[in-house]
Amino acid sequence: MARLTTNGPGITVRPLQYRDLDDLKQWQLEDIEAGDDQAAADAIVAWLERQRRWYGPLKVLSWVPSPMQTNLSTFVAERQNSVVGIIQVSPFNRTRSTWKVEAVAVNRAATRAVPNGGDGSADTSGFMDVGSRLLRHCFEAVWEARTWMLEVDVNHKMALALYRFNGFQPLAQMTYWSLPPEQIVQLAQREPDLPNLLPVSNADAQLLYQLDTASMPPLVRQVFDHQIQDFKGNLMSTAAATADRLFNQVEDVSAYVFEQQRKAAIGQFKLTICRDGKQPHQADLTVHPAYTWLYPELMVQMAKILQPFPEQTLQLTSFDYQPEREECLNQMQAIPDSHSLLMSRSVWHKVRESRPISLEGLQLSDVLTGLQPSGKPVPGRMTWSAERWQTLMGLQPMEPNNPPSTITQPTDGEQ
């Protein structure tokens, strides 16, 4: 395992400030090291540009109480008044018990420009050193988080090494699929067999929560830590959906299958439709493990919904604990685009070590020591004598010191 570099001046990690945006804007795209993840580097550059332009309104929104406050938290690593790294984290659920690492990026040029000590040589710390300091600061600063999770591409070896070094363990493997437009047209030619297909509302949050709980293994369920409120919409989400529909030409359609006998939801999909055809459609699919025959039926239903809109590919995601979904996508000739690894880390992952005790080495005297009284018994305020106890029980008291005399016949002299 690699060892962190401790030479050179220390690194200070703190929340992002407005003055840091000018420094971060000077970062060149080729100098940003994000663990071989070019998409993460591009996303950070776009985020910095948006923050530089809308910092004032976004700062005001952060002061407004929930649900209008921004959830994304950003920290920077500073060394000798130079920003050398940035990390973005956000809560994964409504209770904020699980947080997600969105991106970690380090500026190679900034780390090389800082001198190491007084000899003028270049600093050798890089992505592993600065990234580890950023992650560990988040573990300590975000007191709400009990569990941390992230998603990383399996081909990004440097990012995987960073996260494994800081205690993240694999949770599940994810595969991103793309369904071509011609396959969508072919699926839409038949009618789906979906009785009791109902639209999703806040009144159905309990049913969707039970479906989500039943569709994943216990370990994944514990990390996600979803509650009923995670499946309810609010005023802010409704306003965001309306804005996307008007300005970005994006529309969301959600529905679920209700099982009448068990009074439960057995399947659900959420479809994000691009109305102008500039980007692919996206779908999120959840099916109860006992009703895997719903996978093709829900796919047909989504294909029929996409018929009036411009032809685009449909992007879906499957986990390795849902083999029926991958089999269904393979039969529909979907194309696997990329594979990523879902990783998690508990804040209380270390268990206190203790000396193992063997029961075979214990002696009988050692075992009986705990059964002996620790001190002399203290007499109570009320004491009962034997005579008093026998009187209460209705018995004739006996004198232990004066045994009963035997009856004898009187003699002649006594008479």
Q: Are residues 18 and 152 in the same domain?
A: yes
Q: Are residues 227 and 156 in the same domain?
A: no
Q: Are residues 195 and 307 in the same domain?
A: yes
pLDDT number for residue 61: 54
pLDDT number for residue 415: 43
Q: Are residues 53 and 135 in the same domain?
A: yes
Which residue, of 167, 202, 217, is where some domain finishes? 167
pLDDT number for residue 118: 41
End-to-end CA distance of the chain: 116
pLDDT number for residue 248: 78
Domain assignment of residue 197, yes or no: yes
pLDDT number for residue 383: 56
Q: Are residues 90 and 154 in the same domain?
A: yes
What is the rounded average pLDDT for all residues in the chain? Answer: 79
Per-residue pLDDT of the chain (415 residues; tens, 9 = 90+): 333 433 445 789 999 887 887 777 777 777 677 766 666 677 777 777 776 666 666 555 555 544 444 478 899 999 888 888 999 999 999 999 999 999 898 887 766 655 544 443 334 357 889 999 999 999 999 989 999 999 999 998 989 999 999 999 999 999 999 999 999 999 999 999 898 999 999 999 999 999 999 999 999 999 999 999 999 887 777 777 777 777 778 889 999 999 999 899 999 999 999 988 889 999 999 999 999 999 999 999 999 999 999 889 999 999 999 899 999 999 999 999 999 999 999 986 443 433 444 545 555 555 555 555 656 666 655 555 566 656 656 655 555 555 554 445 555 544 4
Domain assignment of residue 363, yes or no: no
Domain containing 156 — which CATH number?
Answer: 3.40.630.30
Which residue, of 317, 346, 375, is where some domain finishes? 346
- The domain tally of the chain equals 2
Distances (CA, A) of 320 to 92, 287, 297, 325: 21, 14, 21, 9
Domain assignment of residue 43, yes or no: yes
Q: Could you list the residue range(s) of the whole structural domain that residue 227 is in?
A: 174-346
